[in-house]
Chains A and B, each alone.
Chain A
Amino acid sequence: MPAGILRFAMGLALLLGVAAPGVAGADTWPSREITLINNFPPGAATDLTARILARSIEKQLGQTVVVKNVPGGAGQLGPAELAASKPDGYTMGLVGTSTYLTAPHMMDVPFDAWKAFSPIAQASELRYGLAVPSSSPIKSVEDLIAASKKKRLTYSSTSPNNVVALFQLAKLTGANLRWVVFNGGNEAVLQAVGGHVDAVLQSATEMKPQIEAGKLRLLASASPARWAEYPEVKTLRELGYDASSPGPMGYAFPAGVDPKIRDRMEEAFKGALADPEVQKQIQALGIVPEYRSGTDFIKYLRDLQQPLLVVLTESGMKTR
């Protein structure tokens, strides 16, 4: 009875097809498109990074990776959506210092970052620098500290994790510096170029064009390493001040995802970041492509808890 066998086979196939995602998720994953949540509007440096990574992961896993922008909630709406989505390996999202370390102390976020996510990997690290307008008489970090003791100086920057380095510097040296909060990184840089604030501490993405044009003078790298473009400019640490701003960006699944799926995705991120083309494109944005495994990423974040708590407490931003 060939027809009967055929019908049986079709029925079986249908049954397996329907049951497969539920029963053997990890073996058939990925069988449909994967959503990557980015917490900022299209066009933000994080969005561009996500799109570059998505293209490489697509090639490795053979499935489409769609970047979904969920801006709002001061960057915490995205993680909130991630925490609430199904841990089936088809939704992942951006997590970083703000998700884990700053936002929970400043607003009521509907998730406990340490429990809600299953980190996949760190993909990049923002580089920060301390600069003054080129017309400023301040030529070095030493000058800046000395000048601030005569008259309080202002600096522009966007978010708490940027300014960790300057809070540490102030504590170490007694420098009298006031942080003026700006909304966007470019705006913060523009205010320094126009001389409305005395200095700026921002990421390389926004500062590089102005430094290149001779409008800003880079005094020091505020990251643990020097900037590749300005190898002669020392880090704050090298200058003798134990201060630096962290900027790790990573990706996570919601907690409870199958470990096999997480491992496979971790590998895909590792593969993406090993691709010279991907590295080149991310670097062009002024961001350092830097891979850390999920475990190392979370350990790195834990080490940053203490310095950030100091900033939040001293700036009066810690309300929770």
Chain B
Amino acid sequence: MEALLGGFATVFQPMTLLYCFIGVFLGTVVGILPGLGPLTTIAILLPITFKMDVTSAIIMLSGIYYGVAYGGTITSVLMRIPGEASSIVTCLDGYEMARKGRAGAALGIAALGSFFAGTVGVIAVSFLSPPLASAVLAFGPAEYTMVMLAGLALVTYFSSGSRFKALLMVGFGLLLGCIGSDPLAMTPRLTFGVFHLSGGVDLVPLAIGLFGISEVLSMALQKPENLKVLAPPSRLLGFLPSRTEARRSVGPVARGTVLGFLVGLLPGGGAVLSTFLSYAVERKLSRHPEEFGRGAVEGLAGPESANNAATAGAFVPLLCMGIPANAITALLLGAFMIHGVAPGPTILERQPELFWGVVASMYIGNVMLLILNLPLVGLFVKILEVPRAYLAPLILIICMIGVYSTNSAAADVLLAALFGVVGYVLRRYGYDLGLVILSYVLGAIFERSARQALAISDGDLSIFASSPLCIAFAVITAVLLAVALIPRRRLPVPALQPPA
């Protein structure tokens, strides 16, 4: 506790506060822009920090990382383009809320939920880091395989409507995940001789194509009289959720926070996965499952909290073990190393002021983000008043720039356009696009882990039941599947209703 207060003392210096603010502000902006992600931003800014002291540098760069989860929401809610991969799920119900004139409330709930999750996440980082970090070590290839299996079982809850259509989309996602180099032998698969595909289909063109570009297409192909669906909020304090919305958000935010934090701890899992899991859980628990995909506030509040908590969770293995949970924390690790600090189990003994400084800056940064985001909600929502005829091409341009900037590859732009058309057709016929992304993400990790496990065990399948963790996740999978088979009384509804 004393150490944490010492950390606050570090942060409350004017220059450090300024760097923290620059970080979270940039993070919000980058989050809003699709494609341009925290990874690129941090890498570009890294050389600038060479001359700064290490604590300020890390505080600023971390600010970008957790600020992004706030900004990503805005594009998802207002335009149905995932500003970041971790906001893909938000496109489903956040955008539907905006169509019902609840855009302000959606952004408000997302910001408040993010704040809650971010803060709880940081508290967990402060007090639980060392024990949690060693728990991460228990996850080997076999355990990962079983976790991903449980994740795939959750797919049953994510979908609604026709099981056949859902399965079709899962298959499509799994197939997409197989494109690229074989994870072990590195031989190209399903690339059809196209060299660009040998690295696989990137998540960014896939997500922006399926969600963003398909939305532009449906805008363009609608009758003009159907276009005025998005109603901007009339009240001055339009970002305040109604009493019902607030009450319905409490549970999802709390569950999303816990789930997000735990998934964020796992290397390779991270923010994207946590949002899908949270959505699936909320849908199963909800008393209004028929509203999901039609602007259910739970489907927004849960995942938006989960992605922020996951961001905080990823700091645990990074700071305590020097192990990055994803590409962004790997970059932060590089930043530590350039500044001559090796994060790891020794960081608390050797550089307590750095560790606690960064943790304290995350408390402050989350407060800054809330202050930054709430008043701006009104401003962002004004975007909805722009006539669709101007908005649609603008969205298209932003999408394309975003896709190009990820890999500097023109082929990705073509891919995104292709997925845009595919996405439009699938939405038109009531297929659930979220499932494609979910199974694409899970399938790739599942295959790789399963094959690594089998390489270790010499093909002996018993490795998948070799640890208590494996068995626990096998039981979870079985329960999930069994519950799913219990007949549902409610009427099935398509998750993504084609617009009007």
Contacts and interface: CB of A to CB of B under 8 A. Distances in A.
B456 A73 contact: no
Interface stretch (A118-126, A163-171, A205-213): A205-213
Contacts of B386: none
Contact of B408 (A45, A69, A184): A69
B301 to A, nearest CB: 31
Contacts of A76: 198
Contact of B338 (A73, A181, A195, A281): A281
Contacts of A205: 337
B198 A183 contact: no
Contact of A70 (B141, B202, B323, B407): B407
Contacts of A190: 136-137, 267, 321, 323
A284 B338 contact: yes
Contact of B181 (A74, A189, A194): A74
Given A43-B334, A47-B43, A213-B344, A74 B199 contact: yes
Interface stretch (B165-173, B187-195, B223-231, B481-489): B187-195
Contacts of A219: none
B432 to A, nearest CB: 28
Contacts of B286: none
Nearest to B186: A106
Nearest to A48: B334
B139 interface: yes
Interface residues of B, number: 58
A205 B322 CA distance: 11
B46 interface: yes
B184 A181 contact: yes
B324 interface: yes
B47 A55 contact: yes
A178 B455 contact: yes
Interface string A213-232: 11100000000000000000
Contacts of B333: 186
A183 B445 CA distance: 10
A14 interface: no
B131 interface: no
B346 interface: yes
A42 B187 CA distance: 25
A72 B202 contact: yes
B137 A71 contact: no
B46 A154 contact: no
B43 A51 contact: yes
A60 B121 CA distance: 46
A284 B407 contact: no
Given A181-B452, A186-B267, A110 B195 contact: yes
Contacts of B328: 43
Nearest to B448: A183
A236 B409 CA distance: 42
Interface string B316-359: 00000111100110110110011110111110000000000000
A69 B42 CA distance: 13
B456 A77 contact: no
A187 interface: yes
Contact of A72 (B50, B331, B337, B407): B407
Interface in A275-298: 281, 284-286
B322 to A, nearest CB: 4
A119 B417 CA distance: 37
Contacts of A195: 137, 140
A210 B268 CA distance: 19
B39 interface: yes
A179 B302 CA distance: 41
B138 interface: yes
B331 A42 contact: yes
A77 B409 contact: yes
A284 B337 CA distance: 6
Contacts of A77: 195-196, 198-199, 407, 409
A319 B198 CA distance: 15
B345 A213 contact: yes
B188 to A, nearest CB: 5
B185 interface: yes
B497 interface: no
Interface in A1-59: 41-45, 47-48, 51-52, 55
Interface of A: 41-45, 47-48, 51-52, 55, 68-74, 76-77, 80, 106-110, 152, 154, 178, 180-184, 186-187, 189-191, 193-197, 205, 208-210, 212-215, 281, 284-286, 316-317, 319
7 contacts: A73-B196, A73-B198, A80-B195, A109-B195, A178-B458, A196-B141, A209-B343
Interface of B: 39-40, 42-44, 46-47, 50, 136-142, 181, 183-188, 193, 195-196, 198-200, 202, 267-268, 321-324, 327-328, 330-331, 333-334, 337-340, 342-346, 407-409, 448, 452, 455-456, 458
